[in-house]
Structures are given as structure tokens and as C-alpha cells.
Copies of this chain bind each other. A is one copy, B any other.
Amino acid sequence: MIIDCHGHYTTAPEPHNAFREAQKARLKDPSLPEPVYPDISDDLIRETIEKNQLKLLKERGADMTIFSPRASAMGHHIGTEETSIEWSRRCNDLIKRVVELFPDTFIGVCQLPQSPGVPISHSIAELERCVNEFGFVGCNLNPDPSGGNWTSMPLTDKAWYPFFEKMVELDVPAMIHVSASCNPNFHATGAHYMNADTTAFMQFLQGDLFNDFPDLRFIIPHGGGAVPYHWGRYRGLADMLKKPPLDTHVMKNVYFDTCVYHQPGIDLLFEVISIDNILFGSEMVGAVRGIDPTTGHYFDDTKRYVDALTISDENKRKVFELNARRVYPRLDKALKARGK
């Protein structure tokens, strides 16, 4: 069984996106009427999925995707807490519908109604709603709801603890995932995403978060940002900062996905990171949708790169399935309930 741990609904129905545009327009011009969330038919949802994620999933030979709202559209920096709550609920409701329409293929991960300066405890209700009512198995946590201004505290700060307590209680992991950037220095998918991945890892290295939360689990996407390429630097920095080795200090709680869009990068990832810490992911129909002229295949067809590795079948199974089931226990339970 092949589980892609990193998929976003980047092809959401146009009326859903139009609602967001109307919401944003009203922020600029409060005299506009409050937008009404549109009726979206099952057929329209089916179409957007069947033509895109489902088609590619089948073509590439994967079975399931852990699916969440489009990350770049979370836009936590836009509007107020109320804006974010409404938009997050709409996005998560839509993911729930996808999961209901394609229960064998998709399982949900939720967007959180984060907002700059708003305590993260305000996101607990939406996490609970999605996990307890919809059967979602995790969440996307934005370490920078300001959208590139980085005005929050590091993830190791006690300000985040109420949310982490709830994650542990519900036994769900979070993928660390920023959204769009409103800082012109940072291209969203080319700089902000990578920087956030690298930054989060270094925060974990600097802190002692996992002493306080031994059962907390994070997926750092996009192959861990710059971290595996600079694995020697991070091992050396742990030493400089008098921290335990990374294996025990960070890597019992942190996982990287395989969203690295060329073979040499995947080769490096598997060379330096323990097989138990790597989850198959593609973020397909995402940041990089083209075909690599040097291979003739989609850049984001990361299964090809993993398939090309000379690792044992047992290790491949870990990366494609078992690690995901371990990191997302609620996914494992759901699969077992179906006899899988």
C-alpha cells in the first residue's frame, strides 16, 4: 500500500475560491454584502478530483493521499481571526466532502484558523471538530501566521503548548506548513516554504520541546527544507549548543517527507536521514507542475525517485506505508477497520 502523506486540494472548485475572493473583497470594502458560501455539487467535487489528484495517483501507482486544504490559500495573515475561522471551516468542510466521496483514496488533515497575534489555543476547537467529527488524522500547523513577517514566537515557546497538549491528547501529528507570503522578499513555494522548514527544524534543535512532549510528532515537509543537505552543519550545531545528538534530541519526534523534486535530492535524503523518519509525499498538483525536460516525467512524481533507490523492500514499505501509519495512528486505525 502506498500512502502519499502530503496532498493539498489545489484544484478546489471555482465557487469555493470565489467565496474566498468575496471574503477578501469585503475586508477591503466592508460595505459589500457578506458573501454566502455557494452550493457545490458532489459532481463538481468529483470532477476536480478525478481529473487531477485521482488520475495522477492512479497513473503513478499510489493508493492513498493524506489530504488537506490548499496550503498557499490558508492565508492566515488575511483579515481577522473571524476571517480565518470562517475560511478554515469552509476549507475543512470541503476536505470532508472529498473524503466522503473517495473514502478509499483520501483521508483528511485540517487547516487551522490561525491568525497573527491570536493565541493558538483558539485553534483547538477546529482541530477537535475535524478529528472527532470528520475523522481527520492530523493538522497543518503554520509557524508563521503573519505570512513572512515572522512575528510569532518559535515553536518551542510555551505559547504553543496548549495546542501541543491537545495534539498529544488526540494523538495526531502536525505538518509544519506555512502559507502564502506577503513579504516581497519571500516567494511562497521557492523561499518561504523552504525557509520555514529549515527554521522549524533549527527551533527544535535549539529547544527542548520533546523533553516536555515526548509523544508530539511533526512532519517537516519538502524533504526537511535545507536540513538534510546540511546534515553535518546541524549535527555540528547540536554539538556546539551542547545538545544531545540529533537522533535522540529531535529525530524521535520529527519526520521528513519526500517532496524533493529530483533524484539527487532524494538520494541524499535517504543517505543521511534514517529510514524510519522518511514519509512518502509528493505535494502533487502543487508548486511545481511541469515536466522535467531531463527525465520526461513530472518533477513532482516523487514515487519514481523512491522507486529508483536501491533500498530493501522492507525499507520501501516503511517509507510508502508503515511510517505514515505509525506517525498518523488514526490513519492506521481507519485502515485496520477496513481490513487493510
Contacts and interface: CB of A to CB of B under 8 A. Distances in A.
A260 interface: yes
Contacts of A119: none
A287 interface: yes
Interface in A116-161: 143-144, 148-150, 152-154
Main SS class of interface, A? helix
A85 to B, nearest CB: 25
Contacts of A154: 184-185
Contacts of A265: 229-232, 268
A9 to B, nearest CB: 19
A264 interface: yes
Contact of A229 (B190, B206, B223, B289): B223
A206 to B, nearest CB: 6
A262 interface: yes
Contacts of A189: 233, 237
A187 B143 CA distance: 15
Nearest to A262: B232
A299 B150 contact: no
Contacts of A289: 236, 240
A248 B299 CA distance: 20
Nearest to A144: B185
Interface string A183-227: 111110111001100110011011000000000000000110110
A234 B230 CA distance: 18
